[in-house]
Amino acid sequence: MKVCGVVAEYNPFHNGHLYQLAEAKKKTGADVLIVAMSGNFLQRGEPAVIDKWQRAQTALSHGADIVLEIPAAFSVQPADLFAKGAVELLDLMGIDVLSFGSESGDGSDFLLSAAMYLEKEEEINELFKREQEQKLTYAKNMSRLLAKYLPEIKLDLTQPNNILGFAYAKELQKKNRSIGIQTVRRKSSHYHDQEIGSGDEIASATAIRKILSSSKEWETASSLPFPEETKTSLVNSKLVKWDDFFPYLKYRITTTSLEGLSQIYLMEQGLEYRVKAVIKEAEDMAGFLTALKTKQLSWTRLQRICFYILLDKTKEEMEKRIDHLNFIRLLGFNRTGQTYLSEIKRQLEIPLVTNVSQKNSALVAHDITVSEVYRLAEHDRIKSQDYKRKPIKMD
């Protein structure tokens, strides 16, 4: 039985994701397709538009056989740590091949590039410290450095999907995992496209979220290129955004000491002073981030820092949590997935969590906290995310 793994966020699930799942299954010849999906807060530090259960159900309706949740300790992280959690999760589930979308390159390009990079990683890190330009982002600095010192790497590492794919490949190489890579080239739209062209069947999630956040009439959003299940979820759900949490964030920053802020995970040295000063005048999340953003400190990194301020998570606590995975959270499966789970569950090295209870709540405590914070966006409309929730079972 051949098993393919896919790392996803589905924020929200659209036609591009449907295409990627179909291509992953076709290109790999997989009998089982396992999706490792971020939960209610995502890699770029933003909340998911709709909750993890609705996104998991749509994925199961469109090609996924099993959907697992990437633990929150790894889901809101820079690319390398995000990749570490996702790849380890899929490896524990016994995948043979990893499939992901890319702007360029095939599987061998990513694996070869990762091997070349890791061979000279220490040297590259030292060069990066000496030669980085303050006016450039980390991605552009690293891409420029690799083009100069490792010209054999042909991947465009300024592109978001390539950056994540490169991180997955490095993780596979570092742990010497015998897992292949199969890429699916992005079709039609680019990751950061802000607009949807007339007649586009596939649009970027960025463009879709932009319309959802600004549309006052559902008729505008309902014509967007995504499956009916996503449309139904969006119609019937609270569409969550950072501004829903901004009052809580402002309270947390206002009442936390400078010393306390300095200990928050991912907080840059000295940034706590600017955070304290800027929050006094900020009226919404966009204004707050705009005032804090610099050429070196990206919007994405600031969102991640804000997430950890909101949760009051320290560097000491998070560094322990990202040491390794200690559970697998099952969100849903179909008949094919159920058969595969029955075959491998006794071989799993860590617990498979199907129902959250008092017995295992300590194991998933961080994820429970993240879900409860997510529900603050609108407690009455967002159902309990952990207790009393069973994995989705699709026929």
> Annotated binding residues, as ranges?
7-20, 101, 161, 186
Cα 371–chain centre separation: 15
Round to whole Å and give the CA distance between 205 and 193: 8
Other C-beta atoms lying within 10 Å of the C-beta of residue 362: 8
Q: How far apart are the C-alpha atoms of 242 and 209, rounded to whole Å?
A: 12
Distances (CA, A) of 49 to 56, 253, 270, 357: 13, 24, 32, 26
Give me the residue label for tokens 């939960």: 39
**Cβ proximity of 72 and 41 under 8 Å:** yes
Reference 85, options 7, 32, 184, 163; nearest CA is 7
Q: Is the dihedral of CA 24, 26, 30, 33 positive or negative?
A: positive
Tokens 């793994």 correspond to what residue? Answer: 5
With the CA atoms of 331, 337, 340 and 346 taken in that order, what torsion angle do they form, in degrees rounded to the nearest 10?
20
Q: Please spell the DSSP secondary structure of 81-138, one letter per residue.
A: HHHHHHHHHHHHTT-SEEEEEESS--HHHHHHHHHHHHHTHHHHHHHHHHH--TTS-H
The tokens for 54 are 């609705």
Contact of 19 with 346, CB cutoff 8 Å: no
Tokens read off for 184: 């699916």
Q: What residues are designated binding site for ATP? A: 7-20, 101, 161, 186
Q: Is the peptide bond before 71 cis (omega within 30 degrees of 0)?
A: no
Q: Contact, 157 vs 142, CB < 8 A?
A: yes
Burial string for 22-57 (b: 16+ CB within 10 Å, else e) reads: ebbbeebebebbbbbbbbbbbbbbbbbbbbbbbbbb
Q: Tokens representing 273?
A: 């002073």
